[in-house]
Structure 1
Amino acid sequence: GTNAFEVHYTALSLRTPSRVRFTYLLEGLDAGWIDAGSRRAAYYSHVPPGRYRFRLRAANSDGVWNDAGAAFDIHVLPYFYQTSWFRASLAGLVVVVAIGLHRLRLRRLERQFSLVMKERNRIAREIHDTLAQGLAGIGLHLSAIQDDPAAVTRERHVEKARQLVETNLAEARRSVWDLHPQYLDRHDLVSALSRMAAELGEATNGRIRVRTAGAPYRLSSDVERNLFRIAQEAVTNAIRHAAARRVDVEVRFDPDRTRVAIADDGRGFDPNAAHDGFGLTSMRERASQIGAALSLESGPSSGTRVTLVVPRVASGGSRVPRIAALARAMRLRVRRLLS
């Protein structure tokens, strides 16, 4: 394409050619006839693309004009960026970029929402597994106070309930910061389960036994914390809801996996039925977080058995990635509420 051109023209005059005068008009661009005098060329620049008609008139030395004159068509081709296909392509590209940016923003918002929901679920699990379990233990001790006629024993239950209040308040703060349960401080998983079973057993008439099989080895902090919370939930449910008289906790250390089983002789329940509580959901989420396989066997009047199997790779692997800035901000907010 080009937007500049010039038109050369002439007219025959046998008497005085130098006195011939010209006027011209480019239809579609010029507003009126242009007097060129004796100049025999017309110059145009910055002409928009399109179709035009160049018209020329001449007058002889006597001033007589040839009104018919001469004319021809001119087609100014556009540059590639002035074509309709280029504009359509550019518009399409803008639309595609806009859609891409919109989808990118949606994905970013979805990721942020997912992080919020993950952190929310984590805090819900921690609150359920600390405050709820602690309140259940306190309730068991308070119930024992009503049923025990001995003053010395009642005082012991009161002291245990007071200790549980302090312990669970500290556990709530630790949960906000995603720290180990106090039972696991300076203790391995088996020792922590034994301490938990001993304290919970004092408030009930049931028997809670913890035993091991195989050569014990340390697990990663995430695996130990989640295994402990799942076992704590299963034991508390057995005592509190299933009225179990006996609960057996077995931790088996195999070379390629760790297996934790919690069995009780309580009332049992239908695992496929709908439940209002958060316990089973929390157990499944914790198991999924550490790559463990969780199985639940139960039935009415037949007790309950919860089995967890964690591959050794998952046990000794790297720490599960933490939710970064957004998670820390949420922990800070909850921590301020608990402080």
Structure 2
Amino acid sequence: MMWFDGKVFRPLKGAGEARFSGVKGILVAPDGRVWINSSQGLQAIDASEMARAMQQPDYAVRVLQFNFNDGIRGIAASESSTPRLTRLSTGELLFATISGVYRLDPERYRTNPSPPPVYITGVWSDKTAQPLSPSQLEAQLPSSPESVRIDYTALSLTLPQRVQFRYMLEGVDTQWQEAGNRRSAYYTTLAPGSYRFRVMAANEDGVWNTNGASVMLVVPPTLVQTVWFKLLCALMAALLAWCVHRLRLREALRRMQRSFDVRMAERERIARTLHDTYLQSVQALILRFHSIKAKLPKSDEIQQQIDAALDAAEAVAEEGRDQLMELRVNHVCQGDLAPALAAACSAACSQQGVAFSLHEQGARRPLKAGIKDELFAIAREAVANALHHSGSPQVRLQLVYGATSFSLEVRDQGKGFEDEVLQLGKRERHWGLTGMRERAARIGATLAIHSTPGTGCAIELVLRAKLAYL
């Protein structure tokens, strides 16, 4: 059965289990109601339902059904080519089936206005039955049920076989489920929680009991579904991640220490080579020139040239000794860092006529050997930069032993760095700042330079406690 909207033919849809098949007769009554004689029996559609279907093509019309439940035997004959439905002048309908001709007076037919009462009779879960009384509002289900069956019914003393049901399990269903005349609802694998099951019913004339009946279903969690178990799993995962982090950190520290040891061994080897070859050779040349000088008259002009050459050689030897001390800085920083820095930096400042002060904040804590050597070299280089470039009358060194980090700061009151130096991070043809940054990066520290031209400079190094302290 279809209807034409002026452009295309559209199928007519019936609500619930209503179908339009094997249609052998159609007529429209004066009140607009459409009567249909089909293989489903005698069907009636109100005019308002037809009008709504024509405005909304997807709308399913409600159908009033007359079939074997009303005493009609057989269906419309499929081989007949003549209409099997007509209306008499009295308003009565005549319709034929394969079993005979029947008469219906629509004016004498009365609908049932009373909605049927609805009851939830029981709940089945994993083959375990749980009967419910009408006053029972909650049912306890087993943990993690594989299958749940909810039985319900509605009281109808006229045509119970035509009672229609729809249900919804709040928390699972998003809309009402049309069940037809089926009196059971089925669900599987319900998660832990509370669910409200609601069911409504309509009588044989489509009058719905919208209040219906409801019951709260409670599914307790299993051990692995409890909040405590999930929190315990999260805690174990966090503990495992922390242990892995600690192992990785310990391995990184071991690799760093091995790198320090290899580098310091290489520096010591180079220092020994310089001492045994370069400095010894220069010293031998100096002694040889002294012996040659001794054989010349004191007033000889060549002797004066030799003295100048010897002075230059002594300067070269002194520079070589400074480089040697730089390579063997680990032997300079014996004991704690603060006393070693105080001795080395105060001596350098006194030679330049600059006041030096060292301050410690927090309880002194022992530092790792490789870390301490790098900190000593960075601090000494920062003080040397202040002496050679800042023009400051004093240099202040501060060590802070914090609970979470160790910091070192060298501050002067000189002319500060030029903007170009701050942008490049180094001076042209000078490698002091670059060397300090490289040393800081090797030990995992952050190095910052705070300077404004004319107001002094502060070089600050910060190192995490786990990397600095023993």
- Fold conserved between structures, TM > 0.5: no
More strand by share: 2
* TM-score bracket, shorter-length normalisation: 0.3 to 0.5
TM-score normalised by the chain length of structure 2: 0.31
